């Protein structure tokens, strides 16, 4: 009887331990290199760069098995600038991501905290700007559609991600302003859907920000989209983003098409990653981005890639009406030294025409760099990436 009782007790203890299995992982990625730009503020420049393609980060992520197909998950991630050790999001302890949630194998996951938006999650991977073979420098003008990896990170967000059914995944998100008496100020919401089957991947989504960065009134600068840490690409009364795209893989090649439409109403300013601050820009702006991209693996270690984006714009402010257009071209070659370390050479060209003189719209500004004094900017970067 005593042996039987001991056996049952030990079996129960081992079962409880099995259900309570947990893991915590330290991880990170470092992206650094040298960048030459033909024109930043009227001068050519050689600079030590960080996060030209992917965000330089370190973080902790963990999961606990709660039993019955239920898991508790978390992620705490900090972005930083390798060249001087400063925070990528000034003043934030974990500016890149900070969330906790529950994941159910049959029902999906629900996460709470500072997170990437749903369009970035599902449509972004189809664009060159969200991938290692293009990255941040390949972003569409002003990173207007939030597809790049260093895009907007949203505070106070509740996000649902469905399980994958027959290749389809759905995400929905709502982010609170967290200010009493200003529920609708500086909030965000959106939804996105992706489908992958064999060589085909497609996705579409919608995203809306109300008074991002506090809007023109400045009443809630650090609500869902913070102005204080540069998370708001645009400080505006409203920003709406629609997008869709797809790609197809055949053999060693992948080709893709992405379209996005961004409507920004009653703007006050646009963020410049190169200067680290907001540049004045008032009025209303509509942008349609049409991107074609391709990647080809010459060998398992060596790849080449490219992308072209035509951005068609319409701008209005008072009596000023203009129809600016941007041409953006990216070419990259990458060689993997190991599974975790690679080197790359990337060039980006941007040209804008038709923009009103004297505004930031008339100055080419490749993402991560300061604006040119003209409508054309060219940058070449030689980089090293290491993941751990």
Could you write out the three-class secondary structure of 16-41?
Answer: HHHHCCEEEEEEEEEEEEEEEEEEEC
The pLDDT score that the predictor gives to residue 192 is: 98
pLDDT tens for the 388 residues of the chain, in order? 444 443 434 444 444 444 458 999 999 999 999 999 999 999 999 999 999 999 999 999 999 999 999 999 999 999 999 999 999 998 899 999 999 999 999 999 999 999 999 999 999 999 999 999 999 999 999 999 999 976 789 999 999 999 999 999 999 999 999 999 889 899 999 999 999 999 999 999 999 999 999 988 778 899 999 999 989 999 999 999 999 999 999 999 999 999 999 999 999 999 998 998 999 999 999 999 999 999 999 999 999 999 999 999 999 998 899 999 999 999 999 999 999 999 999 999 999 999 999 999 999 999 999 999 999 999 999 999 999 9
Whole-number pLDDT of residue 149: 76
Beta strands in the chain (DSSP E): 22-40, 43-50, 57-67, 70-79, 97-104, 108-116, 153-161, 168-175, 187-197, 200-212, 234-250, 253-272, 277-297, 302-317, 320-322, 325-336, 341-353, 376-387
Q: Which residues of 352-363 are buried (b: 16+ CB within 10 A; e: fewer)?
A: bebbbeebbbbb
SS3 155: strand
- Rounded to an integer, what distance in angstroms lies between the CA atom of residue 81 and that of residue 66? 37
Q: What is the pLDDT of residue 12?
A: 45
C-alpha 128/C-alpha 308 separation (Å) is 9
pLDDT number for residue 103: 98
- The token pair at 338 is 């190991």
pTM > 0.75: yes or no: yes
Provide the pLDDT for residue 20.
59
Domains of the chain: 26-387 (2.40.160.10)
User: Minimal CA–CA distance to 130: which of 232, 260, 40?
Assistant: 260
Cα distance between residue 300 and residue 335, in whole Å: 9
The pair phi, psi for residue 30, each rounded to 5°, is: -120, 125
* Tokens 């009596």, residue located: 319
Task: Give the Å distances, CA to CA, from 325 to 76, 262, 363.
Answer: 39, 14, 12
Contact residues for 146 (Cβ-Cβ < 8 A; gap 6+): 117, 119, 120, 124, 152, 207, 233, 241
Instruction: Give the span between the Cα atoms of 138 and 147, in whole angstroms.
Output: 10
- Whether residue 118 contacts residue 146, with contact meaning beta carbons closer than 8 Å, is answered with no
Question: What is the per-residue pLDDT for 150?
Answer: 64
- The pLDDT assigned to 318 comes to 86
**51 three-class SS:** coil
- For residue 164, the SS3 value is coil
Number of CB atoms found within 10 A of residue 17's CB:
9
Phi and psi dihedrals of 9, rounded to 5? -65, -45
Phi and psi for 233 in degrees, rounded to 5? -65, -35
Beta carbons within 8 Å of 151's beta carbon, 6+ residues apart: 116, 117, 120, 124, 139, 143, 233
Cα–Cα distance for residue pair 152/234, rounded to 1 Å: 10
Which pLDDT does position 378 carry in this prediction?
Answer: 98
Cα separation, 226 vs 355, in Å, equals 28
pLDDT at 16: 43
């Amino acid at each position: 009887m005593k042996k039987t009782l001991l056996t049952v007790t030990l079996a129960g203890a081992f079962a409880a331990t099995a259900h309570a299995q947990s893991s915590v992982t330290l991880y990170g990625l470092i992206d650094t290199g040298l960048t030459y730009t033909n024109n930043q503020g009227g001068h050519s420049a050689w600079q030590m760069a960080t996060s030209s393609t992917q965000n330089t980060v370190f973080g902790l992520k963990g999961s606990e098995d709660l039993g019955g197909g239920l898991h508790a998950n978390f992620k705490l991630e900090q972005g930083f600038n390798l060249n001087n050790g400063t925070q990528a999001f000034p003043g934030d302890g974990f500016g890149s991501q900070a969330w906790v949630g529950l994941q159910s194998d049959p029902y999906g996951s629900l996460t709470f905290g500072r997170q990437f938006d749903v369009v970035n999650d599902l449509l972004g991977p189809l664009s060159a700007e969200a991938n290692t073979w293009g990255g941040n420098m390949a972003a569409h003008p002003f990173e207007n559609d939030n597809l790049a990896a260093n895009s907007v990170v949203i505070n106070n967000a509740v996000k649902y991600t469905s399980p994958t059914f027959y290749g389809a995944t759905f995400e929905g998100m709502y982010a609170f302003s967290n200010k009493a008496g200003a529920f609708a100020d500086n909030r965000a919401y959106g939804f996105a859907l992706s489908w992958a089957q064999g060589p085909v991947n497609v996705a579409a989504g919608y995203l809306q920000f109300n008074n991002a960065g506090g809007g023109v009134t400045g009443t809630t600068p650090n609500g869902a989209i913070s102005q204080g840490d540069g998370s708001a690409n645009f400080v505006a009364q409203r920003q709406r983003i629609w997008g869709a795209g797809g790609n197809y893989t055949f053999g060693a090649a992948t080709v893709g098409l992405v379209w996005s439409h961004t409507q920004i109403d009653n703007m006050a300013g646009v963020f410049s990653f190169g200067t680290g601050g907001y540049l004045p820009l008032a009025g209303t702006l509509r942008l349609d981005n049409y991107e074609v991209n391709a990647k080809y693996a010459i060998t398992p270690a060596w790849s080449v890639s490219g992308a072209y984006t035509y951005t068609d714009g319409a701008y209005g402010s008072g009596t000023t009406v203009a129809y600016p257009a941007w041409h953006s071209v990216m070419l990259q070659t990458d060689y993997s030294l190991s599974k975790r370390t690679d080197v790359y050479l990337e060039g980006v060209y941007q040209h804008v025409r038709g923009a009103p003189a004297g505004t930031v719209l008339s100055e080419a500004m490749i993402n991560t760099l300061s604006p040119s004094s003209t409508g054309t900017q060219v940058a070449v970067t030689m980089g090293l990436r290491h993941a751990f």
